[in-house]
Structure 1
Amino acid sequence: MALTIKYCGLKTPADLDLAVALGVDMVGFMQFPKSPRALPLADIGALVEATRDRAESCVLLVNPDDALVAEVAALRPDWLQLHGDETPARVTEIRDQSGLKVMKAIKVGEAADLEPMPDYATVADRLLLDAKPPKGADRPGGHGNVFDWGLLENVDPDLDFMLAGGLSLTNVGEAIEMVRPFGLDLSSALEREKGIKDHELMRAFMAAVRSAEAALEPTDARKAEAL
């Protein structure tokens, strides 16, 4: 079971170089001023260019207008990640305008929050399930919280998604075993100080993910032999 791993909220060339060396599939850069991980567009452009041919790059936007979409698209990242309240129609507009692949984040707090998944799946290239922000929060994202993974039991197994929100070294193995996501999106879990990546945590998380993947392989192999 090979998960797609995204390290998000990277801010420096050193963060990027380590993520690539660890074998991540995607790296994410924040373009949202209220985030402690936010970067100016010029810095994002430099990191996107430094990522090219090494991993897939993704720029996170929150309810962007057409002008910002155009500015970010001009940097030529591989992906746009929409983490606001964008409707399926707006996701379609942004995807068409930018010409880029789009990942849409869905904020989960209860079963009803998952109902739009099929609608978004028809217009986005990938879905990301994150914890719903705390009431009164001034920025999106899981804020380091875990949502109830049991809510995903009835999700269409053909709907691939990445999992985010409150993942830690102590629960990432359980998340992989219980949820079986397409991939993991990690950001605050890689920090000891808000907005600043900890390189030892970056290494430890990749080791934990690979260990959990390896633990699942014998079971998956037995299932395949039984078919």
Structure 2
Amino acid sequence: MYVKICGLRTPADVDAVRSAGADALGVVLSRTSVRAVSVEHARSLVAHAEASLPAAGSHSSAKPLTTVAVVHDLGIDEALAAAEAIGVDVLQLHGYSHTDICRAAEVEGLEIWRATSAQSGPTTVGAHGEDALLLDSSTPGSGTTWDLGTLDERPTGRWLLAGGLSPDTVAEAIVAARPWGVDVSSGVEAVRGTKDHGLIHRFVEAAKTPTP
């Protein structure tokens, strides 16, 4: 199971995500989020993730983390410029138009993940030319759960489930939804906006433990 931990703000958060065995980290650039960081700070976190990789030839099993910039209230030009400046692997777009997403998808060397809700749709992976789909509640980052029953049809391919997940609920959610991956932010925080490293480890373990 692919696991992304979103809303990181400190180098220690990055270290916790790596040591827990997650696959991806997210930095939030949206101005209205309690987890928002500047482009410069996001660049430093991505650089830390790259610099903390074990040296070639070491016996460590650590692998590179996929780095994701999350945006929803920036113009598409600003979002693309920020992604380039930070050096992320993925740009995750919330609430952008079909035209904007298709345009972003044309940028070489940058994956595009389209975030939407079951109510907003479309819930087909690649509908706007994106590389992956993230299905969240209608208020991303709030920790609000949503009813999988509202989906007309479950997506197939590279799609991530988000919205109200926690170390205690993620395993059950995976069984119910059978996503390609899961994404969490508030569910690994004891204080809103501040990551709890123990909860990160618990979440990753629960998500990656094989289920029937």
Instruction: State the TM-score bracket (shorter-chain normalisation).
Output: 0.7 to 0.9
Note the alpha carbon deviations across 1:19-77, whole angstroms, 9 max, x for none: 01111110000101211111111110011122236211001011432134213312221
Note the alpha carbon deviations across 1:174-219, whole angstroms, 9 max, x for none: 10111000000010001011110011111111222233xx232xxx
User: Measured at CA, do residues 63 and 35 of structure 1 come closer, stay the same or move farther in structure 2, by a change above 3 Å?
Assistant: closer
CA distance in 2, matches of 1:164, 1:119: 15
User: Measured at CA, do residues 68 and 209 of structure 1 come closer, stay the same or move farther in structure 2, by a change above 3 Å?
Assistant: closer
Aligned match of 1:124: 130
CA distance in 2, matches of 1:56, 1:126: 13
Segments of 5+ residues of structure 1 without an aligned counterpart are: 134-140, 217-227
Shift of 1:99: 4.5
Aligned match of 2:183: 185
TM-score (norm. length: structure 1): 0.81
1:184-203 aligned at under 5 Å gives the runs 184-203=182-201
CA distance in 2, matches of 1:172, 1:67: 34
Segments of 5+ residues of structure 2 without an aligned counterpart are: 54-63
Please give the secondary structure, in 2, of the residue aligned with 1:121: coil
Q: Which of 57, 62, 70 pairs up with 1:60?
A: 70
Q: Which of 97, 100, 109 pairs up with 1:90?
A: 100
CA distance in 2, matches of 1:151, 1:68: 30
Aligned match of 1:79: 90
User: Measured at CA, do residues 49 and 184 of structure 1 come closer, stay the same or move farther in structure 2, by a change above 3 Å?
Assistant: same
State the identity %: 32
Aligned match of 1:224: none
TM-score (norm. length: structure 2): 0.86
Note the alpha carbon deviations across 1:88-146, whole angstroms, 9 max, x for none: 211011232474101010123x4xx34x233753500100000012xxxxxxx151111
Amino acid paired to 2:211: A
1:19-168 aligned at under 5 Å gives the runs 19-52=17-50, 54-65=64-75, 66-83=77-94, 85-97=95-107, 99-108=109-118, 110=119, 113-114=120-121, 116-118=122-124, 120-133=126-139, 141-152=140-151, 154-156=153-155, 158-168=156-166
Note the alpha carbon deviations across 1:125-175, whole angstroms, 9 max, x for none: 100000012xxxxxxx1511111112346235x343100000123321210
CA distance in 2, matches of 1:16, 1:121: 32
Select the structure of larger CA radius of gyration. Answer: 1
Please give the secondary structure, in 2, of the residue aligned with 1:176: helix
- How many equivalent residue pairs? 199
